[in-house]
Structure 1
Amino acid sequence: MKIREVAITVRRLDAAASFYRDVLRMPVEEEPDRVTVRVGRSRLVIVRGEQFEGVHHVAFGISPHDFDHARAWLKGRVDLIPAGGSEVIIGPAGWDSRSVYFLGPEDILLEFIARQADAGLPATDGQVPRPFSISEIGISVPDTAAAVGEVTRALRLPTFPPQQPGFAPVGDHDGLLIVVDQNREWFPTQVLRPAHGPLTVTIDTPHEPTSIALTKKVTITAATAD
């Protein structure tokens, strides 16, 4: 399951463009009404919108050969969020991953995640680490079990461990929809809650294209892979 595009809103487009372009050094395309951040094979599309409660969570996938370099590079540009006394967060059982977390524009919770499943990908050639995709997107819902049931049925996606009350990933190592209870707190912040704002996710699928609305503000579209 590959995430093709994630679309979110912010109050200040200029600040968002500056962060992804100047701090994370990602390719950014600015238009009067939107900012598009190129994340390898994925796109993060940002448009102007009203303030909402909570924050989004987006994880960028990097090669495991890039992890130590990316961590050191990020430390000079953002404040990494520790958990259990460490800035390196080991993924749950079955993930075989390492991550670092930090805050972006309007406190969006961002993550660089390196999965051993991607060990075949080479390290970045150059000083700036280059994520190859949007690896995860957090999705806030009032009923986690019902949302997971709808996603797996309508989009024909598998669940991914761990399946817990209030936290239930769907997809695989190539891309995960992190379906969470809207009242939980994002790890590792233990403070910030999931966004109640507009979110559109487009994924690649080998099946018939379809679209589902998980809430009034959250839509997932499965499109035929290019």
Structure 2
Amino acid sequence: MKSIIVTGASSGIGRATAELFLEKGWRVGLIARRAELLAEMAKAHAHAVALPADVTDAGAMAAAFDTFGRLDVLFNNAGSFGKAGPIDEIPLENWEQVLGVNLHGMFIAARLAFGAMRAQGGGRIINNGSLSAHVLRPGSVCYTTTKHAITGLTRSLSLDGRPFGIACGQIDIGNAETDMVAALKVDNPQMDTMEVRHAAASVLHMAELPPEANVQFLTVMATNMPFIGRG
């Protein structure tokens, strides 16, 4: 049975992805802070393993990975948008919180997965980037900065993983119908969105490739988003 750990598994893209992998017969490790939601998911699925942990806590994350055991795929997904506004209106503590989750937390998870996969002879890491790694929204300095950094993390893992059979790719998702996007849509009711299941299906496609193939970068988005074109 193939195995995957999903961070940020209690809601949004992470939860939709975890549930799809469970439907497809994978063993799924569920990492998030909200233990009660993970327990609820694990109760409903025989092959779900609740691993409550804060992605910024290196010790808790190491314990979660050790508990789960063999790992074929990591979906490095947990993220936070943070406070919107120009940089001089962003409190330093907010910047540090977004940096902690979106970059430090993803580094911790990738480091643990890389080590486990190197020891076992291979695996795959899928980082959740964002369209903000390419085209950004106004007032998104914290989120945008971290998502650009994830592209660098993805490239580094891809290069350094080659000798060990570790593939790494990045999925950049635009306007999937999650709580985060719903909050943005309050101020922009005409925002074009897509069902979150399409993002989950794209992660599954990346994960199911044979070891000799890799999706390096994949963009999946609501069709009418203004990602391509000029205003």
Return the structure number with greater relative CO, CA threshold 8 A, min gap 6: 1
Q: Please, what TM-score do these two structures have when normalized by structure 1?
A: 0.35
User: Which has a greater percent of strand?
Assistant: 1
Larger relative helix fraction? 2
Instruction: Provide the TM-score with structure 2 as the length reference.
Output: 0.34
